[in-house]
Amino acid sequence: METTDTATLYHPAAALVVFTPEGSGNPYIEYYDMDESGCPVNPHPLTVREAQSLAKALDTRGEGAKAFLKPAGLLPPSVLHINPSDNGSVVWYTKAQQFFMHFAQNLHLDSGAVALPALVWKADRKRLYLYALTRKTKPDAATPLYVAPVLNAYRDGAICMGNVDVNIKSAASLEDFTAAWQAYFFGSYFSHLIGGNNPVEGNLLSLYRQLMESGAPFPVAQLVKTRLTLNDLL
């Protein structure tokens, strides 16, 4: 067959025949090789390798979309789960450490480094959810989740990004994706408790002041437990 816009000649190499059962049921696909005269020969059920080759040939996404959430090298040890479909989503965690946090003027709290517990992050290109951990080791599927001890958070873990213009690029690598969300989160101004929900046992702002003055690690005994485990985020 000769195309209308080039002089390239294409020769038939294979053919697929889809058989559908009467009534309901899954279709059956047969793969045929083509002989030199263009006739189908060697019929056999479509193999996994052949199906993968076909899917690759039919993939119309641009190179940027194919790179979305692709790690630059080995999978980072902080990443717990990746779902590349639709908007894509990643679950990862950060160890207990100090983060620089910006506070709105109405809180009468100077911006500065605050110790936070280990955190579990779940994000797609548009939304971010955040939870806390009491353990110091890498969480597993059964690890219980706690309310993240931060402002601007809903009770279900969803984070209100306010007027922050979140722009996760469609070609973002896995490392760029997680780094961008952490930069957006800690680059925003924390301003209020949503719905009056206090995420810790005690007063969160008073706790922040104590931690900033002392430099002590976050007291995980003051975290509030949720009904979720890590498995609920996967």
What average pLDDT score do residues 132-155 get?
96
Kindly list the domain boundaries of the chain, sorted by start residue. Answer: 14-59, 66-233
pLDDT at 61 over 60: no
pLDDT at 87 over 60: yes
pLDDT of amino acid 204: 96
pLDDT of amino acid 64: 46
Output the pTM of the full model.
0.73
* CB 231 within 8 Å of CB 141: yes
The CA distances from residue 162 to 100, 186, 189, 190, in Å, are: 18, 13, 9, 9
pLDDT tens digits, one per residue of 95-107: 999 999 999 999 9
d(CA 218, CA 210): 10
d(CA 168, CA 92): 16
pLDDT of amino acid 84: 82
d(CA 3, CA 96): 61
Q: Name the nearest CA neighbour of 178 among 107, 128, 220, 224.
A: 128
pLDDT tens digits, one per residue of 194-216: 987 789 999 999 999 999 999 99
pLDDT of amino acid 48: 62
pLDDT tens digits, one per residue of 35-57: 777 677 678 776 766 655 655 55
pLDDT of amino acid 223: 98
